[in-house]
Amino acid sequence: MRRLAARGRALALEVGGGFWCDLDDEAALERAEKALLARARGKDRDGPVSRWLNRPLSIRLSRWLARLPVTPNQISLFSFGLSLAAAGLFMLGGYPALAAGGVLAQVASIVAACHGEIARLKHLGSDYGGWLDAVLDRYADAFLLFGLTWHLLHAGGGDAALVAGFLAIVGSFLVSYTADKYDGLMRERGGSRFRIGRDVRVFAIFLGAVLNQVFAVLVLIAAVMNLETLRRLVVCRG
């Protein structure tokens, strides 16, 4: 560096409070990688399932994906494809396909978390990418819940299955729709930002499918998501 500076080929840049570290050997590279991955966890709006289950797994997956020429948008599309496949398995009927679909839905949720992590690691974040990810998540939720409803109908669920499925889909959309407004208000007020969001919803789908309790999980999602939406409306009004 001294020789480069003597030739006028080394520049000093003020990084302020930005992240930086010296990379002198393999050990330093490993420390830097771990530090960057820890920073990539990022989201302070993670729900309980995301914080304690999805993130610890997705961060390991992102460590591998960071070495590949993949983009955050490609990860979002792949996760959406996994959710579509899970919904298709739900619609096939039978417990083996139902259980496999539940596992695949949870895997898709873990993969989805890699979108933001890779965006931060590779500095590829964009407003469009975040918007695309959110839109695909809403489509995925609708297909997964519709798949469960279809499964229940063909298993003899009747009108109750339709009502439960409809309310579950409506509740999931409204919870997502009210999330930004609610989170912004909680930041201003300094209140609790405990979230019941997509991570909880997909994990409930996973459990309901694996335990073969489809009607119960649709009723649970419908009740929890719509009640959470009503709670947010009350809190934000105050």
pLDDT score recorded for residue 67: 87
Q: What is the pLDDT of residue 191?
A: 62
Q: Where are the domains of the chain?
A: 42-186+197-233
Tens of pLDDT, residues 182-227? 877 777 777 666 677 899 999 999 999 999 999 999 999 999 999 9
Contact 108, 133 (CB under 8 A): no
Spatial contact of 135 and 73, defined as CB atoms under 8 Å apart: no
80 pLDDT more than 90: yes
Identify the CATH number of the domain defined by range 42-186+197-233: 1.20.120.1760
- Position 40 confidence tier, pLDDT thresholds 50, 70, 90: low
pTM of the entire predicted model: 0.86
Sign of CA dihedral 198, 150, 223, 214: negative
Q: Is the pLDDT of residue 42 over 60?
A: no
Contact yes or no for 209/99 (Cβ under 8 A): yes
Buried b (16+ CB within 10 A) or exposed e, 140-169: bbbbbbbbbbbbbbeeebeeebeebbebbb
Q: Which amino acid is at 70?
A: V
Q: What average pLDDT does the segment 9-32 reach?
A: 83
Report helix angle 127-154 to 198-210, nearest 10. Answer: 30
pLDDT digits (tens, 9 = 90+) for 124-164: 889 999 999 999 999 999 999 999 999 999 999 999 999 99
What average pLDDT does the chain have?
Answer: 90
CB 225 within 8 A of CB 201: yes
